[in-house]
Amino acid sequence: MYRFLLSRRWLGLLVAAVLVAAACVALGRWQLDRLGERHDRNDLLSRNLGRAPVPPAELLAVGRGPREGDVWSRVRVTGRYDVERQLLVRLRPLDGAVGYDVLTPLVTEAGPALLVNRGWLPRDADATGSDLPAVPDTPTGTVTVTARVRPSEPASTTGTPPTGQVTRIDVSEIARTLPYALYGGYGELTAEQPAPAEAPQPRPAPEPSEGAHLAYAFQWFLFALLALGGFVLLSRREAEDRRAAAETSEPVRVTVLRQG
């Protein structure tokens, strides 16, 4: 009854089911790999966010950002903000809104300057149609900054933004516009002393999360089983239909009883 599986039609269905199942298994394994990457990131966050701050020269260098294992570690540096060369980073989301990050170089006496992301400001549309926010003043004089180190962002692929603005924190590109040496990474401000009366909203620390990768992996593996199970069910139904058709097509034998 299952010889029909050797037909071209059913062999094609079998190949299609196997290919679909293989693709689903591959996607499930990819989700598990992403879950492993999440676990590694969570371990990095829990390890580095709790470390004591160190001088930036221990994690950064001119033209070199933090190593992969040092991202999110904290540094502490003392210097003066160069407000004249402050930049606004465009199109930065936070809590469902889009605004600007305030990027200000912190110039030190003993070493390179550090780009500091002082925090986020929302758009502030006014009667002139400008959405540029009013940036709070930095502390005057010498300030001690504690910040989480971040690597430089990839170069922008969009058009040239207005003067005083950038679309990416591309440290190497920003360094070309400055008259002093610059560390290859940048810092996200977590504290500064003295503290200003007003300040941009600090960037929140990332929270450890596994995401939905495990659930997605389970779904893909389930789809693989459904693809193979569907082929089995279809073939069994076909076999039953063929068996029923064969039984109804058998000739009926009539026995005639003769009297006397």
Q: What is 159-190 written as a DSSP string?
A: -PPPTTEESS--HHHHHTT-SS-EEEEEEEEE
Task: State the Cα angle at 186 between 138 and 112, rounded to 5°.
Answer: 80
Query: What six digits make up the tokens of 32?
Result: 């598990």
- Whether the pTM exceeds 0.75: the reply is no
Question: Does the pLDDT of residue 192 top 70, yes or no?
Answer: yes
% of the chain with per-residue pLDDT over 90: 51
The residue type of 109 is E
46 pLDDT band, cuts 50/70/90, is confident
Q: Kindly state the DSSP code that residue 120 receives in the 8-state scheme.
A: E
Least Cα distance to 148 among 65, 205, 194, 201 occurs for 205
* 212 against 126, higher pLDDT: 212
Please give the torsion angle defined by the CA atoms of residues 174, 158, 147 and 182, in that order, rounded to the nearest 10 degrees: -10
pLDDT digits (tens, 9 = 90+) for 248-260: 765 555 455 555 4
Range 92-111 average pLDDT = 91
Helix 213-248 / helix 8-48 crossing angle, nearest 10 deg:
160
Task: Please give the Cα distance from 3 to 258 (Å, whole number).
Answer: 44
Question: Does the pLDDT of residue 128 top 50, yes or no?
Answer: no
Task: Please give the Cα distance from 255 to 218 (Å, whole number).
Answer: 62
Query: What six digits make up the tokens of 85?
Result: 């060369």
10 pLDDT band, cuts 50/70/90, is confident
Counted residue by residue, the chain has a size of 260
